[in-house]
Structure 1
Amino acid sequence: MGDEVTRITYGRNQHRAYRRKIQQCLDAFETMLARYGFDCEAPLTGMEIEGNLVDGDYQPVMANSAVLAAIDDPAYQRELGAYNIELNLPPRPLPGRQGLQLEADLRASLNVADAKARGNGARIVMIGILPTLMPDHLAGAWMSDAARYAALNDSVVAARGGDIAIDIDGPEPLRLQAASIAPESACTSMQLHLQVSPEEFAGHWNAAQVLAGPQLALGANSPFFFGHRLWAETRVELFSQSTDTRPEELKKQGVRPRVWFGERWIDSIFDLFEENVRYFPPLLPEVSDEDPATELARGRTPQLPELRLHNGTVYRWNRPVYDVVDGRPHLRVENRVLPSGPTVADMVANALFYYGLVRRLTGEQLPLWTRMSFAAAHENFRRAARHGMGARLHWPGLGEVSVPELTRRALLPLARQGLADWGVAAEVAERYLGIIEGRVAAQRNGATWQVLTVAALQERGLGRRDALAEMLRRYCTHMHTNSPVHTWELS
């Protein structure tokens, strides 16, 4: 959800004070990196999962306030749309059988939450973009009741100086003008967190950037938006366009977008925070009473609220995170590449695949990113978003290669070695990497299953909207079985 704010509109004084404070925060953070210790003795992993609420006809229902009140669990929070919720899982170590426990805990929590949601006429769906969402659903009271979202919407629209243009190509191109950031609410994802030391952060971030393309190709789950079949992971382009603060003139000048892959490999986490401050004007200039220099001088850990709030409005696909828990600071890489769903088993498989690969890539003497241009990693990400399992990606030593071949020849062996390095139990690694292997063998992820199912339903005479609703009904049935998506029937 992000930090809440106290106001919706901001004047010149707030912007001026915020710019001064965020520079003070940046200076304090640089000092901390050079002189202070960060909590990283027992690295923890974390997961956030965003979901959608639908009614009995599988149409979006604007009911997150009532549903969250019924769930009554602080792990569940609202998201931008009134039909969105988010689950934040407690941090945990990765070794041993923790993967199996994560799957069990996640299933148990979601089952309880879904049962309580049904008592309020809703059910929870984990999917990258809700396929039954249509323009009329976002014409009324679509936004969650929170000052942060109202302020963010007003700031983005004001920065653009006009409506937000959505223009996405694909098999059924979509072009429209939006008066608000409402289309962003369609994008529901899974975020993976990994705690690292300052010295190891750059390597972990660089590795995550290398992996973003393959991750997305294997996990794509968002082929439809507003009834149009677009990209395998339409969420990537939709999120980029719906939060774009740049009018056309600034785009043509090469001003950077707020949804950003980046443009270079880094040497330190400081590079990313410094870029945030240098390139991106504040959207939510909330000024706190904290003096970070004074906090450091008194031997206390500063919260750096301005730096953290600003970081939350720069939407990197791999985001740096500074946080303080029980007075101790720590750093995390937040991987924001993957969509939500299709099943808990699929999501845990995606998570362990990622963690294993990152561990292995950062342990190599000649890091992969030293043999690969940053532009190639970005191009892989774009190709994966467009084509999913059908993408061809560049990989050092293999050249341009299909996703199945890349996964079999390079990624799965590396992930197995990485999970072993983590101390993950062999049967745990086998279960979840076996899901990735099965997905590759079937060449079927959430996106391909959705597209094939809708096509089959339309061949039987259903119109597009009815086919999408029926597909989503079947999707939800399969989702609750927890059988991985590559095993789902297509009839």
Structure 2
Amino acid sequence: MGDDVTPQEFTGADRTRHREKIRRNLDALERMLREEAFDAADPMTGLELELNLIDEVGDPAMRNEQVLRAIADPAFVSELGRFNVEINAEPTLLRNHGLTTLEADLRTRLNAAEERATTQGAHLVMIGILPTLAEKHLSRNAISDDARYDLLNEQVLEARGEDIAIDIENQEHLHTTADSIVPEAACTSTQFHVQTSPDQFAAYWNASQAIAGAQLATAANSPYLLGRELWRETRIPLFEQATDTRSEELKAQGVRPRVWFGERWITSVFDLFEENARYFPALLPIVDDEDPVEVLDSGGIPSLAELKLHNGTVYRWNRPVYDIADGMPHLRVENRVLAAGPTVADTVANAAFYFGLVRALAEDERPVWSRMPFATARENFQAAARQGIDARLGWPGVGQIPATELIREHLLPLAAGGLDAWGVDAAERDRYLGIIEGRCAARTNGAEWFARKMHARDGMERFDALRATLLEYREAMHTNEPVHTWS
């Protein structure tokens, strides 16, 4: 949720007006889809990367405001927690060495940002959950100094009516409560964006859902939270629980969670926006003066501000995005499945795997979602979040097999063909997909590396071991060597 908001209180009348305006937005969007008023001639891709801040000993550094001032790069923005920042990469075309350019640009910007952050006693780390976070770091005081975060915090807690409960069990068990949404800030992710035409959107979204489990298995990077070893991608249950506006009674009634994998394949992007309006009460019922239908009638492009803001508070793992660039509206799938890190090279390899595989599946004459029950995609997602690279996943034609076998034998060849279709150079394609293949061969991703290092330090006090391992992780991160090659 990147829109600027101001502190305010909402009345019942505000919510009624907002509901009516959302319906007006949907009417305008439906008409735009019917009239094919979207830019999709030369689809762009994009990437957002969330980062953690640590001090010299590896503990969270609560100073993103000072760090952002020192970095002084508009590509870097604040995030929910004072120990977070985010970098937004320039949208790019994949052809003509787009992936290599993305890696070089990210490394240049991150290295410069790291140098400036050190002047504020902070260092940047790319990892899904900062393993040295302790309960004392998750108080309300950890929320960034920004009105939108304060307002969102108030509305989530008001909707829930009670403290947020975090209950996660796998290797170990964590049960705690929070009086704010700060635990959400512990979840730092990589977000991939792929632009698509309205008629192809459903195929790209369905394909993204189908491969979410494979993505998680190969790139899990969040094994520890508050001193406990939990899921290999603990971000998944933590984010689901930290933003849950439902009381226990509403959960029992089957009310849908705001962090949502979904429940069916779709036939149109409209399905997702309409579901968001139908199933989820507005957290931020802010209404502007634009009449989107009148704007369309006059030949303009409506902002659909209410629909966009509401969409930003429904946290689908693959989210639909409506936006305007250079005076033209466009649609994107925002893939929000993966954790940050471990290195820039790993991050761009994850991007190559996603962009290549999603294109291959979306353009397949016999779509995988016509042969795979939606429940299987959801079960794959959960299994990979729990077990990471050791997960077993279901796939049409091969049944339940190890994720590493599925990826190496079946999905990487598809991803290679998809990258070819994007116009990616063969050597570039092979380099990045080779990183994914290397992880599978070594059965090592960020979560496995970190957990193995921790187990080797079993005799140490837990948080001392976490700090030592995180500092070792940070040192290896700066080499930009893929995680499966780390010692």
**TM-score bin (small chain):** over 0.9
Alpha-carbon distance in 2 for matches of 1:96, 1:256: 43
Contact 1:156 1:245 survives alignment (8 Å): yes
Tell me how far 1:326 sits from its aligned partner: 2.1
Tell me how far 1:36 sits from its aligned partner: 3.8
| Residue in structure 2 matched with residue 209 of structure 1 by the alignment | 209
**Local SS of the residue matching 1:176:** strand
Tell me how far 1:96 sits from its aligned partner: 2.8
Query: Gaps spanning 5+ residues in structure 2: where?
Result: none
Alpha-carbon distance in 2 for matches of 1:29, 1:272: 12
Alpha-carbon distance in 2 for matches of 1:423, 1:92: 13
| Residue in structure 2 matched with residue 342 of structure 1 by the alignment | 342
Alpha-carbon distance in 2 for matches of 1:290, 1:94: 36
Tell me how far 1:224 sits from its aligned partner: 0.2
| Residue in structure 1 matched with residue 461 of structure 2 by the alignment | 463
| Residue in structure 2 matched with residue 422 of structure 1 by the alignment | 422
Alpha-carbon distance in 1 for matches of 2:429, 2:17: 50
Please give the residue correspondences for 1:433-452 in structure 2 after superposition, counting only pairs within 5 Å: 433-452=433-452
Deviation string, structure 1 residues 63-103 (Cα, Å, up to 9, x no partner): 01111111111111000001100000110001131111111
Tell me how far 1:177 sits from its aligned partner: 1.3
TM-score by length of 2: 0.99
| Residue in structure 2 matched with residue 276 of structure 1 by the alignment | 276
| Residue in structure 1 matched with residue 109 of structure 2 by the alignment | 109
Residue 463 of structure 1 aligns with an amino acid whose one-letter code is E
**Local SS of the residue matching 1:322:** strand
Deviation string, structure 1 residues 464-484 (Cα, Å, up to 9, x no partner): 100000000000000000000
Alpha-carbon distance in 2 for matches of 1:267, 1:387: 31
| Residue in structure 2 matched with residue 487 of structure 1 by the alignment | 485
Structure 2 residue 135 is the aligned partner of structure 1 residue 135: yes
Residue 231 of structure 2 aligns with an amino acid whose one-letter code is W
Contact 2:317 2:336 survives alignment (8 Å): yes
| Residue in structure 2 matched with residue 144 of structure 1 by the alignment | 144
Contact 2:139 2:180 survives alignment (8 Å): no
Alpha-carbon distance in 2 for matches of 1:230, 1:350: 23
Structure 2 residue 105 is the aligned partner of structure 1 residue 96: no
TM-score by length of 1: 0.98
Tell me how far 1:140 sits from its aligned partner: 5.6
Alpha-carbon distance in 2 for matches of 1:74, 1:297: 35
Tell me how far 1:182 sits from its aligned partner: 1.2
Please give the residue correspondences for 1:3-402 in structure 2 after superposition, counting only pairs within 5 Å: 3-139=3-139, 141-402=141-402
Residue 351 of structure 2 aligns with an amino acid whose one-letter code is A
Alpha-carbon distance in 1 for matches of 2:365, 2:19: 41
Tell me how far 1:136 sits from its aligned partner: 0.8
Tell me how far 1:359 sits from its aligned partner: 1.1
Q: Root-mean-square deviation (CA), in Å? A: 0.8
Deviation string, structure 1 residues 112-162 (Cα, Å, up to 9, x no partner): 011110011101001000000000112362000111111111111111111
**Local SS of the residue matching 1:141:** helix
Contact 1:8 1:150 survives alignment (8 Å): no
**Local SS of the residue matching 2:212:** helix
Deviation string, structure 1 residues 288-343 (Cα, Å, up to 9, x no partner): 11110110111000000000000000000000000011221000000000000000
**Local SS of the residue matching 2:455:** helix
Residue 162 of structure 1 aligns with an amino acid whose one-letter code is E
Q: Structure 2 vs 1, CA of residues 151 and 440 (structure 1 numbering), >3 Å: closer, same or farther?
A: same
**Local SS of the residue matching 1:337:** strand
Contact 2:64 2:83 survives alignment (8 Å): yes
Residue 474 of structure 1 aligns with an amino acid whose one-letter code is E
Alpha-carbon distance in 2 for matches of 1:386, 1:259: 17
Residue 288 of structure 1 aligns with an amino acid whose one-letter code is D
**Local SS of the residue matching 2:192:** strand
Contact 1:4 1:148 survives alignment (8 Å): yes
Contact 1:222 1:235 survives alignment (8 Å): yes
Alpha-carbon distance in 1 for matches of 2:35, 2:4: 31
Residue 294 of structure 1 aligns with an amino acid whose one-letter code is E
Contact 1:349 1:436 survives alignment (8 Å): yes
**Local SS of the residue matching 2:475:** helix
Deviation string, structure 1 residues 267-293 (Cα, Å, up to 9, x no partner): 000000000000000001111111101
Alpha-carbon distance in 1 for matches of 2:421, 2:327: 30
**Local SS of the residue matching 2:433:** helix
Alpha-carbon distance in 1 for matches of 2:328, 2:186: 36
**Local SS of the residue matching 2:85:** strand
Alpha-carbon distance in 2 for matches of 1:33, 1:359: 21
**Local SS of the residue matching 1:128:** coil
**Local SS of the residue matching 1:334:** strand
Residue 478 of structure 2 aligns with an amino acid whose one-letter code is H
Residue 385 of structure 1 aligns with an amino acid whose one-letter code is A
Residue 464 of structure 2 aligns with an amino acid whose one-letter code is D
Count of residue pairs brought into register by the alignment:
487
Q: Structure 2 vs 1, CA of residues 472 and 375 (structure 1 numbering), >3 Å: closer, same or farther?
A: same
Alpha-carbon distance in 2 for matches of 1:281, 1:258: 10
Please give the residue correspondences for 1:399-414 in structure 2 after superposition, counting only pairs within 5 Å: 399-414=399-414
**Local SS of the residue matching 1:336:** strand
Q: 1:477 aligns with which of 475, 478, 484?
A: 475
Deviation string, structure 1 residues 358-393 (Cα, Å, up to 9, x no partner): 111112111011000000000000000000001100
Alpha-carbon distance in 2 for matches of 1:125, 1:27: 44
Tell me how far 1:404 sits from its aligned partner: 1.1
Q: Structure 2 vs 1, CA of residues 5 and 140 (structure 1 numbering), >3 Å: closer, same or farther?
A: closer
